[in-house]
Amino acid sequence: MSNIARGGYRKDLKQYFRSKMEANIARYYTYIGINWFYEPREYKFEKIKRGTRYYKPDFYLAAPE
């Protein structure tokens, strides 16, 4: 078994995902009825001078109506 993430377009979700695990999480959210958005936004940390300055959450979960 390979540890390499298999990114690609998932026909059933009509969405590109960076890994199989992310696609499976999206399938689960859909199954239990949670509205989700994949990588909708990127956050920049202005005060960080070195290293990772940006963060992009994998999912945004919409509040239930």
pTM, full prediction: 0.78
Q: What is the DSSP string of 20-33?
A: HHHHHHHHHHHHTT
> What is the structure's pLDDT at 56?
94
Q: Where are the domains of the chain?
A: 8-61
Q: What is the mean pLDDT of residues 27-56?
A: 92
Q: What is the pLDDT of residues 7-26, one digit of tens each?
A: 899 999 999 999 999 999 99
d(CA 38, CA 36): 7
Whether the Cβ atoms of residue 54 and residue 47 lie closer than 8 Å to each other? no
Q: Per-residue pLDDT averaged across 16-44, rounded?
A: 95
Mean pLDDT of the 47-53 span: 84
